[in-house]
Every structure is written in C-alpha cells, then in structure tokens.
Amino acid sequence: MTVTSTSTSTSTTATTYWTRVDSPVGPLLLTAAPTGELTSLSVPGQEGGRTPADDWRRDPGPFREAERQLTAYFAGDLREFRLAVSATGTPFREKVWAALDDVPYGKTVSYGEIAARIGAPRAAVRAVGGAIGANPLLIVRPCHRVIGADGSLTGYAGGLERKVRLLTHEGVPLP
C-alpha cells in the first residue's frame, strides 16, 4: 500500500469532515482533517470506532478519491490504496501501522511477523496486537491481513465476519 502519511497535531477546534460510503461489508464512516487527509475509516459496531459528533461537518467533497478507490477495491480493480492519510498514535503504534502498510493484497502475516518487521521482541506480540486493534483506518490500512501464528483468524476491530469477507475478497485461502 502506498499512503502519504502525515502525523500532524490538530487543534481541538479544527473541523472534522465526515461522510458515509456504502460497501459490501456495510456502511463505512470516513473522517478527514480540514487539510483533506483521511483520518479514519470505521464500520458500524467497530470496537473503538468513531461516530459523528455534533460539531463535525458532513461533506462528501473531501472523500471523492477515497470513495473512488474503495469502489475500485471492492470491484476487484484496485489492490493498493494511494491516499493521503493522517493518523496519529504513539511512536510504537505508528511503527506498527507503517508495517501494516507493507502487507500486500491477498497475503497474510502473523502478529509475530509484524513484531519482527518493526524490530520488537517476540514478547511484544500483545502490544503489536493492541496497536493493530487501534488502527483507525480499517481496510485502507490492511489490519484484516494479520492472522494468528497458527493461521487462525484472530480478532479484528471490525468483526471477524468482515475480516473473513475482506480476506475472501482478496483471494486468501481460509482455514
């Protein structure tokens, strides 16, 4: 995946833009910073997902490219997102999220492999799992491609049913 990632701090008074996009895995809630970078992609019932706040501005304008790419992804015509994103977290989380960006379409990796990619010890697998679970950019940042070391389909903030649908869509053989 190629994303232009910026980690800028935003003022608490900055406007958050949002829209909903229909998809085969349910409605997607997208948020963006005033500068246009995608800041989150959530699904209904997502653990830690976002919901529109009263002071957010609903405007599909900043999301045209994200919507175009998501439509192409679900149509099977796009394998790598190329979007400007801005997701901030701890340095550790950002390192894990960057490793997720490198997991190719149709492939899976284990939590231990992600830990190794970022130079974390094997004992950090739980922390890696926590960082993956906190990924604010579902689908675009492919945390659904992370599985257990034994090949099991372990947790997914968007729900295991969605994880199965996304992996099946990408042609990943499931256990």
Look up tokens 């190329």; give the residue: 82
Are the CB atoms for 8 and 39 separated by under 8 Å? no
What is the number of other CB atoms lying within 10 angstroms of the CB of residue 3? 21
Q: What is the pLDDT of residues 76-128, one digit of tens each?
A: 999 999 999 998 899 999 999 999 999 999 999 999 999 999 999 988 999 99
In whole angstroms, how far apart are CA 58 and each of 26, 69, 78, 173?
A: 19, 20, 26, 38
Q: What is the pLDDT of residues 8-24, one digit of tens each?
A: 444 456 899 999 999 99
Give 48's pLDDT tier (boundaries 50, 70, 90).
confident
Q: Which residue has the higher pLDDT, 25 or 4?
A: 25
Q: What is the pLDDT of residue 13?
A: 62
Are the CB atoms for 67 and 57 separated by under 8 Å? no
Give 175's pLDDT tier (boundaries 50, 70, 90).
confident
Task: Please indicate whether residue 10 is annotated as part of the active site.
Answer: no
Angle at 86 between CA 120 and CA 65, to 5 degrees: 125
Q: Which of 38, 43, 143, 147 is catalytic?
A: 143
Are the CB atoms for 38 and 32 separated by under 8 Å? yes
Cα–Cα distance for residue pair 64/38, rounded to 1 Å: 11
Give 62's pLDDT tier (boundaries 50, 70, 90).
very high
Q: What is the pLDDT of residues 127-153, one digit of tens each?
A: 999 999 999 999 999 999 999 999 999
The encoded tokens of residue 141 equal 């940042």
Are the CB atoms for 41 and 137 separated by under 8 Å? yes
